[in-house]
Amino acid sequence: MSDRQTDRQTDRQTDRQTDRQTDRQTDRQTDRQTDRQTDRQTDRQTDRQTDRQTDRQTDRQTDRQTDRQTDRQT
């Protein structure tokens, strides 16, 4: 094999390895970013739902108490 052929082969191998490494790194970063984004969205959604439920519960209790007070006064 000539030096030129050997150099080409070495270059190709190096390029492939670099490409694989870059692909893995990109995949990891993308996965992490996607996971973080999903976690944030899920947390927000859960917080909103919990807040709504808590508000409803509080409103019901307040309404009951107000009704009782009103009933007692009449």
14-42 pLDDT, tens digit each = 999 999 999 999 999 999 999 999 999 99
- Distance separating alpha carbons of residues 64 and 55, to the nearest angstrom: 14
Does pTM surpass 0.85? no
Q: If we measure between CA atoms, which residue out of 54, 60, 57, 62 comes closest to residue 70?
A: 62
- Distance separating alpha carbons of residues 9 and 6, to the nearest angstrom: 5
If pLDDT is split at 50, 70 and 90, which confidence band does 9 have?
very high
- Distance separating alpha carbons of residues 65 and 72, to the nearest angstrom: 11
Burial code of 40-52, b = ≥16 C-beta within 10 A, e = fewer? eeeeeeeeeeeee
46-55 pLDDT, tens digit each = 999 999 999 9
Largest CA distance in the chain: 107
